[in-house]
Amino acid sequence: MRKRGIGAVCLMPGLVALWCMIPAVANAQVTVTSVQVTVSSGTSTAVWCDTSLACPAKIWNLGASGITVGAGETLVLTQTGEIPGVGGNFDTSDRAKATSPTLAECTAADPCTVTVEINGQVVYTASAGNPLNFFNGDTSGNQTVNEAHAWVLAGTKPNYTLSLGYADNVHPDASNCPATGCFPNPFANATYFLGTGLTGTFNNCTTNCYDAGALLITGVLAPPTATGRMTGGGSVFLPDGTRVTHGFEIHCDITDVPNTLEVNWPDANNFHMDTLTSAKCTDDPNINQKPPKSSPFDTFVGTGTGKLNGVAGATIQFTFVDAGEPGTSDTAAYLIKDKDGNTVLTVQPTLLTKGNHQAHQ
- List, as own/partner pairs, every contact residues 45-52 make where C-beta atoms lie below 8 angstroms and the sequence separation is at least 24, other chains included: 45/95, 46/92, 46/95, 46/96, 46/97, 46/104, 48/89, 48/90, 48/92, 52/341
Is pLDDT at 45 greater than 70 in this prediction? Answer: yes
Backbone angles phi and psi of 136, in degrees to 5: 50, 40
Closest CA to 1 of 66, 53, 71, 56: 66
Task: Say what the pLDDT of residue 25 is.
Answer: 36
Is pLDDT at 290 greater than 60 in this prediction? Answer: yes
Residue 59: pLDDT band with limits 50, 70, 90: very high
Instruction: Report d(CA 207, CA 69) in Å as an integer.
Output: 29
Residue 29: pLDDT band with limits 50, 70, 90: confident
More confident residue, 24 or 191: 191
Average model confidence (pLDDT) for the chain? Answer: 87
337, 344 contact by CB (below 8 A): yes
Is pLDDT at 274 greater than 50 in this prediction? Answer: yes
β-strand pairing of 74-77 with 35-40: unpaired
Summarize the confidence of residues 302-309 as an average pLDDT. 94
pLDDT digit string, tens, across residues 335-349: 999 998 899 999 999
Return the percentage of the chain with pLDDT > 90, whole number: 65
Which residues have a Cβ under 8 Å from the Cβ of 179 and sit 6 or more positions away? none
pLDDT digit string, tens, across residues 131-171: 999 999 988 777 678 999 999 999 888 788 999 999 999 88
Q: Which of 13-17, 110-114, 177-181 has the highest mean pLDDT?
A: 110-114
Backbone angles phi and psi of 137, in degrees to 5: -120, 20
Backbone angles phi and psi of 161, in degrees to 5: -125, 155
Return the percentage of the chain with pLDDT > 70, whole number: 88
Task: Say what the pLDDT of residue 20 is.
Answer: 29
239, 273 contact by CB (below 8 A): no
pLDDT digit string, tens, across residues 160-173: 899 999 999 988 76
- The structure's pTM equals 0.60
If one counts every other C-beta atom within 10 angstroms of the C-beta of residue 354, the result is 12
Residue 219: pLDDT band with limits 50, 70, 90: very high
Closest CA to 68 of 124, 25, 8: 8
Q: Cα 186 to the chain's mean position, in Å?
A: 20
Q: Which residues of 255-286 are buried (b: 16+ CB within 10 A; e: fewer)?
A: eeeebbbebebeeeeebbbeebbbbbbbeeee
β-strand pairing of 192-194 with 74-77: parallel
Task: Say what the pLDDT of residue 257 is.
Answer: 85
Summarize the confidence of residues 104-113 as an average pLDDT. 94
Closest CA to 296 of 311, 308, 284, 312: 284
Q: Pseudo-torsion of CA 309, 311, 313, 317, nearest 10°?
A: 0
Is pLDDT at 226 greater than 70 in this prediction? Answer: no
Residue 174: pLDDT band with limits 50, 70, 90: low
Task: Say what the pLDDT of residue 6 is.
Answer: 27
